[in-house]
Amino acid sequence: MMKNLFLFIVLTLQLSAAYTQNVKLPSISFPIENDKDIKVMQRNCQWCHSYGYILNQGKQSKEFWHHIVLKMRDVYHAPINPRDEKIATEYLFRHYGNGKLK
């Protein structure tokens, strides 16, 4: 019985090793607005997540974006200094804001 089990396992492994399939994963880019503050966004955001995170939020208020920046710093421990916190909030609101402060 053990001999049959061993042969079954060996044959199964050989068959699975013989079956290969090339899979091409799609490349998805998330273009982000480029302006004078893009370096702040790259330095503080891009190393942890894609810009898709920003785009998926939709157009939001300045208060919303400020809370997002604070969440990244306080909850996820992103090393965002106070100067960059203000710049990032302004950048996000300028390009992805809905025009409302609250």
Regions in the chain scoring below 50 on pLDDT: none
The pLDDT of residue 79 is 94
The pLDDT of residue 69 is 98
pTM: 0.71
Query: Out of 3.30.1360.10, 1.10.760.10, 2.60.120.260, 3.40.1390.10, which CATH number does the structure's domain 29-96 have?
Result: 1.10.760.10
Domain ranges, ordered by start, for the chain = 29-96
The pLDDT of residue 11 is 77
Smallest CA-to-CA distance from 54 within 97, 99, 100, 101 is with: 97
